[in-house]
Structure 1
Amino acid sequence: MNSHEIDYQILGDSIQIVEVELDPDETVIAEAGAMVYMEQGISFETKMGDGSRPDEGFFGKLLSAGSRIITGESAFMTHFTHRGVGKGHVAFAAPYPGTIVPLDLSNHPQNTITVQKDGFLCAALGTNISVTFNKRLGSGLVGGEGFILQKLVGDGMAFIHAGGTVIEKTLYNEELRVDTGCVVAFESGISFDVQRAGSLKSMIFGGEGLFLATLKGTGKVWLQSMPIRKLIQAIAPYGKNNDKGSSSILGEFLSSD
């Protein structure tokens, strides 16, 4: 199935929105809850599956939905179609601050990009979104991240999101070691593994975590400066202090009566 040819513009800086322009009967698919606004003439429908295989049977769709649940995503995807005349617009935003990366899948080897499990935002109808697993089960599980990934295949536009700033690097039969949470996406020519981070001393006292992701091969990789895990860790202590402060103030107030 050929992907629909959609136009788009990315709005904003640190918390971005992608606005997709649809011609009549064009469709864009998105993660549930990603939509920000849609103009008159745009209709939406929640479906099981990405719609890339219209002849796929119920059990095939059920299997696909089940694999998405494993990644922590919704079993359903939302299909937005322009039913009016002229141009129609619908916009999507990521669930946390960061950057939206537009990818024309037809410009990448095998029309394929592998993405972190929560990195997909939206894509032209016809894009196949499936779950793939790190071949090295042990390292993926012990590393805590990178075991479950999503594979995007198609010939149209797809949009992924990353936390903080996005760094795009091209490897030429090279190896790059990265914090496991900082890997956003990579092309089909790149192999991905999770390995122990140096000696026992550096693992415990180095502050870089126990494991690092190893990207090896030839192709493009996309990295993020602020994965959601680090963002949560950074703000968690302040939340605890606020809770303690609130409890202390509440206790003094009650004891004064």
Structure 2
Amino acid sequence: MQSKIIGTTLPVLEIALDAGDAVVGVPDQLSWMSGDVTLTTSMGGAGGGGMWGLVSRAVSGGGLFTTRFEAGRGPGLVAFAAHLPGEIVEVEIGPDRPMLAHRHGFVCGTPGIEITTAAQTALGGLFGGEGFVLQRVAGSGKAWIELGGEIVGYTLEAGRQLLVHPGHVGMFEASVGFEITTIKGVRNALFGGDGLFLARLVGPGKVWLQTLTTAGLAHAVAPYLPGKQG
């Protein structure tokens, strides 16, 4: 199996599969394919823990169903294009190195990858009614994560903190502590009170921040969309 990321602003992940190789992803992530590739959609891939694992993956944004893209007797190719301007990052996952990513970050992974819910916070006013949800990417193998805009990375020493707007949290190692906190002194127009919701990230571990948020993009284009009729 060989992978490459093509492009800059709107990249595409292209994976060349040798006979017998496979990747697992969300059904609607596929952009194009060629060669001897078989698609099998089920409720069993990319999630452990039986029915609870399936529900947990659905809540995290991964959906109940996954598709296995497998090369048969000959080679094949599958490609997954980014949904927003940004980057696709390849990460190596192991039993001692799970990752946490934003709820729509997972693109695909090798069959040993598991996706479940890591954290859920009821901040619907900030995130379009969905609340704030993180995906836990665990298991063993490779995973590809989509992040919005430019990526700013930090390696946090033990005890070092970062306070981040939750939408800019792209991905971080599971060794990093995480909580949603309120910072006083800033007027919060969304909630009509005094306080700003931020994510507190505490080292040790690596953090990937994203400069483009889905909510920020929606806010920027909203004035140019036609109004609802009736």
Please name the residue that 1:163 is paired with: 148
Please name the residue that 1:75 is paired with: 64
Among residues 86, 92, 96, which one is paired with 2:80 in the alignment? 92
Shift of 1:95: 2.4
Shift of 1:147: 4.2
Q: Which has the higher helix share?
A: 1
Q: Is the 8 A contact 1:98 1:161 kept in 2?
A: yes
Secondary structure of residue in 2 paired with 1:226: coil
Distance (Å, rounded) in 1 between the aligned partners of 2:47 and 2:198:
34
Matched, 1:101 2:99: no
Shift of 1:51: 5.3
Q: Is the 8 A contact 1:113 1:186 kept in 2?
A: yes
The AA in structure 2 aligned to 1:148 is: V
Matched, 1:183 2:155: no
How many residues align structurally? 220
Among residues 3, 13, 17, which one is paired with 1:18 in the alignment? 13
Shift of 1:68: 2.8
Shift of 1:130: 1.5
Shift of 1:210: 2.6
Secondary structure of residue in 2 paired with 1:198: strand
TM-score, L = length of structure 2: 0.86
- Greater Rg, structure 1 or structure 2? 1
Q: Deviations over 1:6-42 (max 9, x none)?
A: 3200001110111112111111011121111111201
TM-score, L = length of structure 1: 0.78
Q: State the superposition RMSD in angstroms.
A: 2.4
Secondary structure of residue in 1 paired with 2:122: helix
Matched, 1:64 2:53: yes
Among residues 151, 159, 168, which one is paired with 2:136 in the alignment? 151
Identity of aligned residues (%): 33
Q: Which has the higher strand share?
A: 2
Distance (Å, rounded) in 2 between the aligned partners of 1:8 and 1:113:
20
Structure 2 gaps of 5+ residues are none
Structure 2 matches for 1:46-65, cutoff 5 A?
Answer: 46-50=41-45, 60=50, 62-65=51-54
The AA in structure 2 aligned to 1:65 is: L
The AA in structure 2 aligned to 1:239 is: L
